Amino acid sequence: MLHREKSYEALRQSFRWDIPTKYNIAASVCDDWALIDPDRPAIYDATYATPRVTTYDDLRISSNRLASFLKARGISHGDRVAILLPQMAEVAIAHIAAYKLATIAVPLAALFGSEALGFRLKDSGARVLITDAGGCAKLRTLLDTLPDLEIIISIDGPDGDILGFDRCLASSSCDFDRADTCADDEAMMIYTSGTTGPPKGAIHAHRVLLGHLPGVQLPHEFLPQPNDRFWTPADWAWAGGLLNVLLPSLHLGVPVVARRTIGFDPDDALELMARMQIRNVFLPPTALRMMRNASPKSYSGMNLRTIASGGESLGTEIYHWGQRTFGLAINEFYGQTECNLVIASCAQIGTTRAGAIGRAVPGHDVDIIRADGSICGNGEMGQIAIRRPDPVMFLGYWKQPEATAAKFIGDWMTTGDLGRRDADGYIYFMSRDDDVITSSGYRIGPGEVEDCLLGHPAVLMSAAIGKPDPLRTEIVKSFVVLRDGIEPSTTLTKELQEFVRARLSAHEYPREIEFVTSLPLTTSGKIIRRHLRERP
């Protein structure tokens, strides 16, 4: 954990990892708290008019019962337990039970369709699925293709061969001896978002939670503080929801707010933050961009202490908008499924800069490297990389040793993200390596074009890609979502082009603009530019 210091330099010099040989996530996010403060609120479910409170002792008893039930059914060390549920206490219960059994938790996003779910369940060889009626409906036509899946448990009750969650717990013992796991033992498998090809299962050890703590505490300005209360609209199946919010909060004793919604409504999100007196939020850049369409009255009554954002580059426009709107710096952070929360900002100690994703989080060795593994100079564009060993780094891809080996150049784990470092050590995200636009000999990062367009009052969201061109190799093409009440026109197209040309350069402006009603996004809110490039 981080201890408050006056400067980033002092923080980095004083930090030391303390990873025990023996460690189980279930102990620190549940059992330890239940022993010393059993009635402490762990989760507030704000889906209900009167929020339902789940205490740490509730988590302990329910996870023990679920673990007991699964063990009696032959589920044991190394088996995969899939969890397909929206934000609710049962997600935490299922994860904790899986860790107590020394099985591998496989979180799955509730928004996935049948094809995406079928791929992950088959690839992981999951023996157990804990879901709801909606998840069961998606899988009915797929069951014949999932020979490894033996047990399906629904929180909405039994249905034929599907077991009821409450009945399973009621029939099982509330006493369970937690597995004596090592910190390096497998704990979870999180599938990559699939922006550049088929999703891969990234295996993480129990130590991954401890490795995340500095990267959570820094952008949330030394969490926990009195009255802290955490919420994110991000699905708890995504690393951003599970490892940036749910598990670290439970570890630190900070209550988490759960809310089941379909899609993201900015006015609804702002009302929730005010009503539940949320103090700490993780809002992906996409959510923040959408909030610019919210009603001004929706911003009243909030009591936020920290706002953090990550998953994509925030950009200078949203950074400054956030300061004006919330009166707080939006602390940006960076990571990916394989090695998360390794770069971050912290306004409280002056480590924040518009356009930068931050500096290396204490305990992590992060830099910009060339293709041969050598370190780039200041201002030179290269690949963002993290040096191993690192407690937050994944163990490898599930059944893909070649892909795991290809992820490394020597001891540097590559990210596939291009960036640059300035003289003060701040790192700037440029683009995914495969999203770089090559035009007339220039290499253009789409993020800079997108951020510039967001500065225009008519633009709500934008995405930029390279479109093949016989003369320039590629031209910049932008897809633009307009704010409510704004209509597309030839005049607006020319206005946006001149807006970018005047603020960036003649080679970076979008020579083609297509107005769209929405952009293709991953479940974590990242733009899937590959889908835009594949459009006819």
Can you give the pLDDT at residue 293? Answer: 83
What is the topology classification, in CATH, of domain 1-9+214-234+258-435?
A: Rossmann fold (3.40.50)
C-alpha 7/C-alpha 439 separation (Å) is 42
Q: Are 14 and 3 in contact (CB under 8 A)?
A: yes
pLDDT for 521 equals 84
Cis bond leading into 224, ω under 30°?
yes
**Cβ neighbours of residue 342 closer than 8 Å, sequence gap 6 or more:** 215, 334, 335, 360, 361, 364, 366, 386, 390, 392
- The residue extents of the domains of the chain are 1-9+214-234+258-435, 24-205, 436-533
Asked if residues 26 and 63 have their Cβ atoms less than 8 Å apart, the reply is yes
Helix axes 89-100, 56-72, angle to 10 degrees: 50
Q: Give the residue carrying structure tokens 């590559």.
A: 414
pLDDT tens for the chain, 536 residues long, are 788 898 999 999 999 999 999 999 999 999 999 999 999 999 999 999 999 999 999 999 999 999 999 999 999 999 999 999 999 999 999 999 999 999 999 999 888 888 889 989 999 999 999 999 999 999 988 999 999 999 999 999 999 999 999 999 999 999 999 999 999 999 999 998 654 557 899 999 999 999 999 999 999 999 999 999 999 999 999 999 999 999 999 999 999 999 998 778 999 999 999 999 999 999 988 889 889 888 888 888 999 999 999 987 888 999 999 999 999 999 999 999 999 999 999 999 999 999 999 999 999 999 999 999 999 999 999 999 999 999 999 999 999 999 999 999 999 999 988 999 999 999 998 877 777 787 766 667 788 789 889 999 999 999 999 998 887 778 999 999 999 999 999 999 999 999 998 887 777 899 999 999 999 987 667 788 888 988 87
pTM of the model: 0.87
Contact 117, 131 (CB under 8 A): no
- Give the model's pLDDT for residue 51: 97
What is the b/e burial string over 480-509, where b = at least 16 CB atoms within 10 angstroms of the residue's CB? bbbeeeeeeeeebbeebbebbeeebeebbb
Predicted pLDDT at 151: 98
Q: What is the pLDDT of residue 446?
A: 84
CATH of 24-205, picked from 3.40.50.261, 2.170.190.11, 3.40.50.12780, 3.40.50.460, is 3.40.50.12780
Predicted local distance difference test score (pLDDT) of residue 443? 66
Task: Tell me which residue of 472, 415, 486, 412 sits closest to 443, measured CA to CA.
Answer: 472
pLDDT at position 528, please?
86
Distance CA 269, CA 497 (A): 33
Q: Which residues pair with 277 in a beta bridge?
A: none
Q: Do domains 1-9+214-234+258-435 and 24-205 have the same CATH topology?
A: yes
Round to whole Å and give the CA distance between 475 and 468. Answer: 7
Q: How far is CA 37 from CA 123, 306, 381, in A?
A: 40, 26, 50
Residue 148 CB contacts under 8 Å (≥ 6 apart), including other chains: 122, 125, 126, 127
| 3.30.1300.10, 1.10.3720.10, 3.30.300.30, 3.30.450.20: CATH of 436-533 | 3.30.300.30
Pairing of strands 382-387, 412-421: antiparallel
Residue 21: predicted pLDDT: 98
Sign of CA dihedral 222, 223, 227, 229: positive
520 contacts: CB under 8 Å, gap ≥ 6: 527, 528, 531, 532
User: How far out from the chain centre does Cα 296 lie?
Assistant: 28
